[in-house]
């Protein structure tokens, strides 16, 4: 059939074009929202630059130099052009370009969120599957309590109690920060992630020290990720286990293990990708309180300090970065969904 090939390529091109248009519109919306945030915040960026004791002439000169005398549409176009060039301005707090600050702090948050997500996946997925397979049993009850507590308990309280117990009393983990003072700046920076960099340097003492500092905050974030992932896994599995093809598989004499993991779980694997991606994105932007409690020098603490200092360039730069990560994660999960699920093709 000669028309099949071109038709298939047209469908694929149309699908890719739709995704590209959606991505561009999402990023434009993100830039617009961050621009509006920068304009409605009750903070005068000019005063943060010139200081409270500046004269009116100095204030007016800085006001014009920052382009605030131009129309809003012109300011937005200039802001968008600068962001697309990777220029978020200079941070008032650090005195460095915001891009350099983000390169320094983002790997710390990425490493923390990634480890928390891995904990949530490797514990939450099996817990949700077993809870659904034994619906109403004691494992199911435990899974539901774990999810309920995970959604209800404030993370800053758990962080403080965790530090008191595991660091202050038992001494099982390292204290606040990413590393002990003796190892600070000792490992050469390659990726910005301490665990990875210490492995590259084959510095096992630094690796153990970094692991002892990250395991507690990562476990807390992993617990919240676990609560969400286990609940969604249980819900997906319950839907599959009530389907007719599961009954047919059991009638054929297949083992319960094969029915659950070989048939039911295989059909929920694709939607789980989206759940895991959203969980990872939530930890990236939702680790602010954890970073503050554990003095973790990540992007959440960076944005918080910048906001308290009225450093809007840093706040907007961090907001754009986190928003872009969310967009990228959604795009990746959508691509994987289409690749792994034949029905989506």
Task: Please report the pLDDT score of residue 14 as a whole number.
Answer: 66
344 confidence band (pLDDT: 50, 70, 90): low
Residues sharing a CB contact under 8 Å with residue 52, sequence separation 6 or more, in sequence order: none
Instruction: Please say if the pLDDT value at position 2 is more than 60.
Output: no
Q: What DSSP string describes 24-69?
A: HHHHHHHHHHHHHHHHHSS--HHHHHH-TT--HHHHHHHHHHTTTT
Does residue 181 surpass a pLDDT of 90?
Answer: no
pTM: 0.84
CA proximity to 129, closest of 10, 289, 262: 262
Strand partners, 153: none
CA distance 239 to 274: 17
pLDDT in tens, 289-337: 888 889 899 998 898 888 877 787 888 888 888 888 888 888 888 777 7
The architecture (CATH level 2) of 98-344 comes to Orthogonal Bundle (1.10)
Mean per-residue pLDDT, 251-261: 84
Return the percentage of the chain with pLDDT > 90, whole number: 19
State yes or no: pLDDT of 11 exceeds 60: yes
In this structure, of 60-64, 142-146, 330-334, 338-342, the range with the lowest mean pLDDT score is 338-342
Q: Which residues belong to CATH 1.10.3720.10 in the chain?
A: 98-344
Residue 126: predicted pLDDT? 92
What is the C-alpha to C-alpha distance for residues 173 and 56, in angstroms, rounded to an integer? 54
How confident is the model at residue 332, as a pLDDT?
Answer: 82
Higher pLDDT pick, 17 / 138 = 138
Alpha-carbon gap, residue 141 to 129, rounded angstroms? 13
**Could you identify the residue written with the tokens 């020290």?**
209
Name the DSSP letter for residue 181: G
pLDDT reading at 36 higher than 50: yes
Mean pLDDT of 7-28: 69
Q: What is the pLDDT of residues 164-173, one digit of tens each?
A: 999 988 888 8
Per-residue b or e along 12-28, where b marks 16 or more CB atoms closer than 10 Å to that residue's CB: eeeeeeeeeeeeeebbe
Confidence at 24, pLDDT banded by 50, 70, 90: confident
Query: What's the whole-number average pLDDT of the chain?
Result: 83
Going 106 to 112 to 114 to 120, the CA torsion angle's sign is: negative
For tokens 């992993």, name the residue: 222
């Amino acid at each position: 059939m000669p028309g099949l090939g071109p038709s298939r390529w047209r469908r694929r091109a149309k699908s890719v074009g739709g995704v590209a248009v959606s991505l561009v519109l999402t990023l434009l919306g993100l830039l617009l929202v961050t621009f509006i945030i920068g304009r409605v915040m009750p903070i005068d960026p000019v005063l943060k630059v010139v200081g409270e004791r500046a004269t009116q002439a100095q204030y007016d000169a800085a006001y014009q130099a920052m382009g605030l005398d131009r129309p809003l549409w012109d300011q937005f176009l200039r802001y968008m052009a600068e962001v697309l060039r990777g220029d978020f301005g200079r941070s008032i707090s650090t005195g460095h370009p915001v891009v350099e600050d983000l390169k320094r702090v983002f790997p710390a948050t990425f490493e923390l969120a990634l480890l928390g997500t891995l904990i949530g996946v490797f514990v939450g997925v099996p817990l949700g599957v077993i809870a659904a397979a034994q619906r109403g049993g004691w494992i199911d009850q435990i899974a539901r309590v774990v999810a309920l507590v995970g959604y209800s308990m404030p993370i800053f309280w758990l962080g403080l109690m965790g530090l008191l117990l595991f660091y202050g009393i038992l001494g099982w983990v390292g204290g606040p920060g990413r590393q002990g003072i003796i190892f600070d700046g000792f490992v050469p920076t390659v990726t910005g992630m301490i665990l990875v960099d210490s492995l590259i340097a084959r510095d096992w003492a630094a690796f153990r020290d970094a692991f002892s500092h990250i395991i507690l905050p990562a476990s807390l974030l992993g617990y919240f990720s676990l609560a969400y992932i286990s609940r969604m896994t249980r819900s997906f599995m319950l839907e599959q286990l009530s389907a007719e093809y599961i009954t047919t598989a059991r009638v054929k004499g297949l083992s319960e293990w094969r029915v659950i993991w070989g048939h039911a779980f295989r059909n929920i694997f694709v939607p789980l990708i989206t759940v895991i991606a959203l969980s990872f994105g939530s930890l990236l932007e939702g680790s602010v309180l954890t970073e503050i409690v554990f003095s973790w020098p990540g992007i959440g603490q960076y944005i918080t300090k910048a906001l308290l200092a009225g450093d809007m360039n840093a706040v907007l730069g961090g907001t754009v970065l986190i928003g872009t990560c969310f967009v990228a994660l959604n795009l990746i999960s959508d691509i994987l969904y289409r690749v792994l699920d034949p029905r989506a093709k």
